[in-house]
Amino acid sequence: MIITKDRLQNIVDKMPEEADVEEVFDKILIAAKIEIALAQINNGEYMTSEQLDEEIEKWD
């Protein structure tokens, strides 16, 4: 999982002067996961809701 230094700086800049370490890690992890999801969407690596419905029907 990769996140840019600029994105990290943006997250830190929005944090209060004192922040819980776990909260900082959570925000970084969420931002990284969002970046991954957006990259997957841009690469066409996603399913439509109709495709998902078809896959779920196969489970029965």
State both tokens at 27: 């925000």
**Structural contact between residues 45 and 25, judged by C-beta atoms closer than 8 angstroms:** no
Give residue 1's pLDDT: 76
Q: Which of 39, 48, 13, 11 is nearest to 26 (CA)?
A: 11
For residues 5-24, average pLDDT: 93
Per the document, the length of the chain is 60
Distance CA 1, CA 36 (A): 8
Distance CA 1, CA 12 (A): 18
For residues 17-40, average pLDDT: 93
For residues 29-56, average pLDDT: 94
- Domain residue ranges in the chain: 21-60
pLDDT-derived band at 3 (thresholds 50, 70, 90) equals confident
pTM of the model: 0.71
